[in-house]
Amino acid sequence: MRPCSPLTQPLAPSRRKCLSGSAVSLVCSQECGESARAPRVLGGRPAAIEAWPWQVSLQYRKEHICGGSILDTSWILTAAHCFKNNPVVQSWRVKAGSRLLSGTATLAVEKVFLAEAAPASPKDNDIALVKLRSPLHLSGETRKPVCLPYFDEELHPGAPLWVTGWGYTREHGKLSETLQEAKVKLIDTRSCNLAAYHGDVTEKMLCAGLPQGGVDTCQGDSGGPLLYLHDRWQVVGIVSWGQGCGTPSTPGVYTSVQAYLNWIYTVPELQRGPRSCPPFRQRCAHESQGGRATFLRNRSGRKCFQEDGYSGTKNHF
């Protein structure tokens, strides 16, 4: 991991408490969620990597499988189901800094951390952290980290969101060579379940799309970000599952990143090294301070195991 960037003064007296009650230690930074964008996913349009510089392609044996988001120089956020049928960690590579799928993916993967599977709700916990073998060089406008959301970020139905990826631009189509972007809206869980999913959408998921369809994520977009702009860009969701691609009344379903913040901060690998240089950034508790907050959650006592480079809280794919 690269050295910490210059930080402003700590915000100890006015720290924002996370909803779980766990203590966090905060300092301000101003490095995540910056984009050159001013405020073909299905129904989308071509996008510049400068607009979404955290977007990466996760490739298995030189084939694009999923998207992902840069969280820091060593960590990529993506979906757990991407690894279910692709078990050899050494065969994974990450491509960053380009809007095109073609070309060599040069970033080797050291480990993949998966959230514990939930047998009672098999679509839950579709989240993974990928640790790169060597730190990613964050450079210029094409490779930047995205921000994580507040623990208590509130998104309301109808909130404007963006999805990006190289997935199919039509159902039963093929991957897009060029990165695509599309604007969607948050749909409340109750309406999403009533319309299409019969209770399969849980509190750990988000629904997003358009009622009339036509704009959606599709095969190949999995693991990529669902993004919300609030001062800076936050990854609030991870492309997970859905029924069809862009069909009316069947919006895309996303893993809620907010629901897994505690998991993200308790992956043991993230807690090794100096506590003065935590690995992830969030927005500062005081808007008046500007910038972002960096924090590392205290140890929770949860343990992970490793097997063939994969790790999970109790099990793995």
- Can you read off the two tokens belonging to residue 237? 């969701």
CA 244 to CA 170: how far, in whole Å?
10
One of 35, 57, 222, 256 is an active-site residue; which one? 222
One of 81, 176, 256, 316 is an active-site residue; which one? 81
- Can you read off the two tokens belonging to residue 148? 């994580």
Contact 128, 68 (CB under 8 A): no
- Asked about 249 being catalytic, the answer comes back as no
Secondary structure class of 266 (helix, strand, coil): helix
Residue for token digits 């800094």?
Answer: 97
One of 126, 221, 240, 316 is an active-site residue; which one? 126
CA 2 to CA 31: how far, in whole Å?
13
Q: Determine phi and psi for 69, rounding to 5 degrees.
A: -130, 135
- Asked about 126 being catalytic, the answer comes back as yes
- Asked about 230 being catalytic, the answer comes back as no
How many angstroms separate the Cα of 13 from the Cα of each of 112, 190, 275, 278? 36, 39, 19, 19
Q: Give the residue numbers marked as catalytic.
A: 81, 126, 222
